[in-house]
Every structure is written in C-alpha cells, then in structure tokens.
C-alpha cells in the first residue's frame, strides 16, 4: 500500500496549477474545486448496486469522470514544460490524477464485464482512429433491438417460441424492459480526434504566420529578393540512399562523443500511461566507445540462451503488479505478447505496484539521471515515467535527464530502413533494426521483455555507431553533433 500523504501534498499544488492552467486539453474551463473534492487515494469510481440500471448509471458516471480527468492530465505536460518562471514546482498533481484514473479505468472495465455477465450488452474492442475503444452492442440472446435509439430490449417477451431462450430465461437476474446503450459508449476516439484537429489547425495557423513574417522579411528566413538564405533549410544528413526528411525525432539522435549509456525498456498492460500499469522494467549499461568497466561480472544469463552479455553490464530485471480488480479481468493480449499473465500479478499475491512504490521510483530515477538513457521509441518510456516516477518530470525540466532514441537512428541512418508500401518510413521496429544491425538472429524475434529488449537495442546501437564512424556518416557526417547528443532540456548544444 502506498503512502497516502503525497496525495494531500499533490492537492496542495492546486493553486499553482489553477493559476497557470485555467483550461484543459479540450479548451474547457477546469473546475479546480471539483478536482480538490476527489478522493484520489481511495478511488473516484462508482460502486453500484448489482441491478442493470445501477450498472448503467455507474458506467455513465465513470465515463464522465474519466473524460474530465484525462482532459486535465493531457494538458499538464505542456503547461509544466512551458512554465518558464517555474511557478509550478512539482508534477505530483498530474501523477496523483493519473494514479486515480488508472483505478477508475479498472472500475470501468469491471462494470463492462459485469454488464456482459448480466447480458446487458456485448463488448467488442475496436480500433477507432488513434485508439481502441469498448463498443457496446445489444446482447444477441434478446430480441432485436432498435439500433437507432441505442436501446437493448431485455423484457424476454418475444412472442415467438422459435426464438429460443431469452437473456431473462438464462439468468437469475431480473432485467428492466430496456437499458440505454447510446449514452454509455466510449467517447475516447472522438475526443482524441477532435484534439488532433485543433492541434493541426494551430500548427497551420503558426506556419501561415511564420510564412507571412518571412515574406515581410522580418524573420530573417529570406533575402530581400525572396530567396532562401543559406542554412534556412538543413539537409537531413542521413546515411541512407532515400534521404528521409528531418523531423522532431531527430532531437533524440546521439552525438559523436556518446559513450556510457543505460538502455531501458518497459512492458505495460496497455499503451496509455494514465490508464495502464508498468509490469516489467529491464535495463542494463553499455559503453559505446570506451572499454567495459573492469570488475563487472563477465556473464549474465538472459532468458534467451543465445543472448551473450558481451559489453553489457549492470543488468536489472524488475517485476511489478496490478491491483486485484485489474488482475481479476486478465489481459490476454499482454499475456500473448510478453508471456506475463496479470492474473498472477495481483498485489494480493505479493506483487508491489510501481506507482505505489516510492523506493523503486527513486532507485530508477537515480539511474536515469546519472548518464543518458536509451530506448527504442523513447517518447513511450518518457510518457510513462512522467506519470509514474516521482521527481522525473522535475529532473527532465531541469535538464538533468538526457534521452537517446534508436528509432530515429534506424529511420535516418540505416540504409536498410527503406520505404515500402507496408512501411512508408521504412521498417523501424526494434525487431527489424536489431536484425539489420546484427544484434538479433533472423531466426528469432524480439522477446517483448524489458531486459532482453534493452540488450538487443544496445548491441544494435553499438554496432551501428561503429559502422557509421568508419563511414564518416551519422554523427560523424556533415550534420552530426558533437557531445553525447540526445534530447534534454535547459541547455544549449
């Protein structure tokens, strides 16, 4: 059980956030008094009576609460990172909101399952735009519903003996005539799509403004004659033949002086750090240029017997649990992908939850700040650390954390990452990158466990950097950077 005192401290930060963040990610004015009223430590979900209408009403209320919480959480990162006067001193309030939201999401999934058990609806998980949502449809054991009104008929009075057993006849539960489905559909996809459209419009407006400034010769981007000035558009500086365009990920590329790094990979119960849990963390260290430290054990037994430690050292594998409500529902997708069955990872079975374990967070933060850390698609790990690791956001904003990403290394500097119809930007998965760089045999696949994936990533990175140096490309090319490179805040390079 976590120390609950920090929730009170987090609520004590509300005046700072309220002064700097009056609106959420959807442009709605935040009711900070409502946030202050929430019992973040003990749960914000609704526990209903076991009746169909109560289950419906609880699900509706929980969806509304989750939408409010997540719209606030989604705005916190940009507000915190652009708080240049440092009026907001801590990121613990967003972490507390995310903590509560994870348990709320478990409650929502429990209600969805309970509704299925009572034949109130059938749940399907469907990809909609940028996310996967739970879609509720009428239970097929009842008579046909009126889809236009989104109602599920549970009366069992079909008047047709050939219709077979009804939901009411198959259950001891007494059902009302109808339960509305249209007002308890997951709106996450529509909300995310609307946010994306607003961001797109804002970017377009900014580009239009920048272009207008350039045409007026106020930005310094053009010469008086209108031609682009030298250096106005940088070349990509990649080592491939297809010359991918520079993008924001290039900020995470390593520099030519990178050496000691920590590779890290996490496994989670889903893709949303405000809804899901960290269940596996693996990390190890490797020097990209200097010799391996003397005195470190020379061998390590990975799960894959064909993995050799080589230059890696300081390997660690950490396992974490989930709340009982999450464990009870299981997670077949994650079990298939990673081999981790959350049904056996309940906190009641003795597993500690990462977001309830301050010592584990402090230990990880200490390692993340002592040298650059490397991840493949590092923005994923970064987003989880922001909402799970006490002190991470503050350290990142202060420039004490440097992040290197092997995904843009694959995309920009790997000749094998050629665009295809299937992969318009090239195949830049860790599995493909590791195989091209000789870190993973073609007969085997990425394991999807933290330590093993960290290992093949670092081996691939070291092989890749050695080849680039010999070719005078990548960090050693005309657009390469001196120093360790990577993404950090608060200092110029």
Extended strands (E) in 109-219: 122-128, 131-137, 151-153, 178-180
Within 45-186, where are the H helices? 52-81, 92-117
Q: Which residues, at least 6 apart from 241, have a Cβ–Cβ distance to it below 8 Å?
A: 415, 418
Query: What secondary structure letter does DSSP report for 277?
Result: -
CA dist list (Å): 154 to 21, 60, 138, 169, 230: 46, 19, 9, 10, 72
* Residue 153: predicted pLDDT: 39
Adjacent-strand bridge partners of 126: 133
Q: Which residues, at least 6 apart from 110, have a Cβ–Cβ distance to it below 8 Å?
A: 325, 328, 329
What is the sign of the dihedral through the CA atoms of 66, 67, 69 and 71?
positive
Q: What is the mean pLDDT of each run of 10 residues along the chain (493 residues)?
A: 79 97 97 97 91 95 98 98 96 98 98 95 92 92 43 38 39 57 96 91 83 70 48 43 77 98 97 97 97 87 87 96 96 93 94 96 98 97 98 98 97 89 85 94 84 96 97 94 93 45
* Residue 241: predicted pLDDT: 53
3-class DSSP assignment, residue 317: strand
* Residue 236: predicted pLDDT: 43
Dist CA 251 CA 259 (whole Å): 18
* Residue 204: predicted pLDDT: 83
Adjacent-strand bridge partners of 251: none
Dist CA 424 CA 237 (whole Å): 19
Dist CA 493 CA 488 (whole Å): 10
* Residue 217: predicted pLDDT: 66
| Element counts in the chain: helices (H) and strands (E) | 14, 9
* Residue 192: predicted pLDDT: 95
* Residue 492: predicted pLDDT: 44
Adjacent-strand bridge partners of 268: 278
Dist CA 35 CA 73 (whole Å): 11
């Amino acid at each position: 059980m976590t120390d609950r005192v920090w929730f009170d401290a987090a609520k004590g930060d509300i005046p700072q956030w309220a002064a700097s963040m009056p609106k959420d990610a959807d442009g709605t004015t935040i009711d900070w008094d409502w946030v202050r009223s929430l019992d973040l430590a003990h749960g914000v979900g609704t526990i209903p009576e076991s009746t169909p209408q109560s289950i419906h009403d609880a699900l509706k209320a929980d969806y509304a609460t989750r939408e409010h919480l997540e719209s606030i959480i989604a705005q916190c990162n940009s507000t915190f990172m652009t708080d240049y006067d440092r009026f907001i001193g801590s990121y613990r309030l967003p972490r507390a909101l995310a903590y509560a939201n994870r348990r709320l999401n478990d409650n929502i999934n429990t209600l969805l399952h309970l509704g299925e058990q009572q034949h109130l609806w059938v749940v399907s998980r469907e990809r909609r735009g940028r996310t996967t949502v739970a879609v509720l449809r009428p239970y097929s054991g009842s008579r046909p519903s009126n889809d236009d009104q989104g109602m599920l008929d549970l009366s069992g009075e079909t008047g047709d003996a050939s219709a077979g057993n009804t939901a009411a006849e198959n259950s001891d539960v007494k059902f009302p005539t109808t339960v509305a489905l249209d007002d308890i559909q997951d709106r996450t996809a529509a909300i995310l799509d609307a946010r994306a459209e607003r961001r797109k419009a804002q970017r377009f407006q900014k580009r239009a403004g920048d272009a207008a400034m350039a045409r007026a010769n106020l930005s310094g981007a053009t010469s008086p004659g209108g031609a682009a000035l030298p250096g106005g558009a940088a070349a990509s500086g990649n080592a491939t033949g297809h010359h991918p365009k520079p993008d924001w990920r290039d900020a995470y590329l390593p520099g030519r002086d990178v050496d000691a790094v920590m590779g890290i990979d996490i496994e989670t119960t889903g893709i949303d750090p405000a809804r899901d849990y960290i269940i596996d963390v693996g990390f190890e260290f490797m020097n990209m240029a200097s010799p391996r430290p003397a005195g470190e054990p020379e061998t390590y037994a990975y799960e894959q017997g064909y993995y050799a430690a080589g230059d890696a050292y300081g390997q660690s594998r950490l396992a974490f649990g989930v709340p009982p409500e999450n464990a009870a529902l299981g997670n077949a997708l994650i079990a298939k992908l990673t081999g981790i069955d959350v049904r056996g990872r309940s906190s009641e079975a003795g597993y500690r939850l990462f977001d309830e374990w301050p010592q584990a967070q402090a230990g990880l933060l200490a390692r993340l700040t002592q040298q650059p850390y490397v991840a493949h698609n590092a923005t994923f790990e970064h987003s989880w650390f922001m909402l799970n690791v006490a002190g991470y956001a503050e350290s990142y904003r202060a420039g004490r954390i440097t992040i290197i990403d092997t995904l843009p290394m694959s995309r920009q500097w790997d000749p094998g990452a050629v665009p295809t119809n299937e992969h318009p930007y090239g195949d830049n998965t860790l599995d493909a990158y590791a195989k091209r760089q000789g870190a993973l045999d073609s007969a085997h696949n990425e394991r999807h466990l933290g330590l093993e994936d960290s290992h093949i990533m670092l081996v691939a990175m070291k092989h890749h950097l050695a080849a680039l140096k010999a070719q005078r490309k990548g960090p050693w090319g005309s657009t390469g950077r001196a120093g360790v490179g990577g993404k950090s805040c608060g200092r110029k390079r």
